[in-house]
């Protein structure tokens, strides 16, 4: 007995892609993303499997990080007819709005095993810091007991 898993939404997506995606099924796709904070760094991870690292384009403009990449459909040899074609081809893109608390001038990106990791440091002005409290000269202290008050039962 074979186990067959059917996903009606996947089947619907495939039908829509075939109807509106052109002959090769190429269109613009959204990249799945995870975001993490680790110490003073924000990490964004994008899934871009099967894409060459040099075809990934990162830009930052007015606190918007744009990630673009492309994966083109394979050229089929004569006599080869696809039986199942579910892998998406075309342009992949994602825009992420970055807050003012991030240092957009020091963004780094690494690509490994189909995952693009973008590291964005927290800006110095947004990092937690300790503020020293200094006594004001000539200030009078309030006289009174340093003993805690007891609750009065009524």
Write out the DSSP string of 23-79: TT-EEEEEPPEEEEEETTEEEEEEE-TT--GGG-EEEEETTEEEEEEEEPPPPPPTT
Q: Is the pLDDT of residue 145 over 60?
A: no
85/60: higher pLDDT = 60
Which range (5-9, 87-91, 130-134) has the least confidence?
5-9
C-alpha distance across the termini of the chain, in Å: 78
Whole-number pLDDT of residue 24: 46
Q: Is the pLDDT of residue 6 over 80?
A: no
Q: What is the pTM of this model?
A: 0.65
Whole-number pLDDT of residue 1: 33
Average pLDDT on 97-120 reads: 94
Which range (66-75, 90-99, 124-133, 140-149) has the least confidence?
140-149
Q: Is 48 within 8 Å of 109 (Cβ atoms)?
A: no
The third-level CATH classification (topology) of the domain covering 26-73+87-126 is Immunoglobulin-like (2.60.40)
């Amino acid at each position: 007995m074979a186990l067959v898993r059917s996903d009606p939404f996947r089947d619907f997506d495939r039908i829509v892609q075939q109807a509106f995606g052109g002959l090769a099924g190429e269109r613009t796709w959204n990249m799945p993303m995870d975001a993490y904070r680790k110490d003073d760094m924000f990490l964004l991870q994008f899934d871009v499997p099967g894409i060459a690292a040099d075809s990934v384009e990162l830009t930052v403009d007015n606190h918007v990080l744009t990630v673009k990449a492309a994966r083109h459909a394979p050229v089929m040899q004569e006599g080869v007819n696809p039986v199942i074609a579910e892998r998406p081809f075309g342009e992949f893109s994602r825009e992420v709005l970055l807050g003012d608390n991030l240092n957009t001038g020091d963004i780094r990106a690494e690509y490994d095993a189909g995952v693009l990791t973008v590291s964005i440091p927290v800006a110095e002005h947004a990092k937690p810091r300790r503020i020293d409290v200094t006594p004001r000269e000539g200030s009078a202290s309030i006289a009174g007991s340093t003993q805690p008050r007891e609750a009065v039962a009524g």
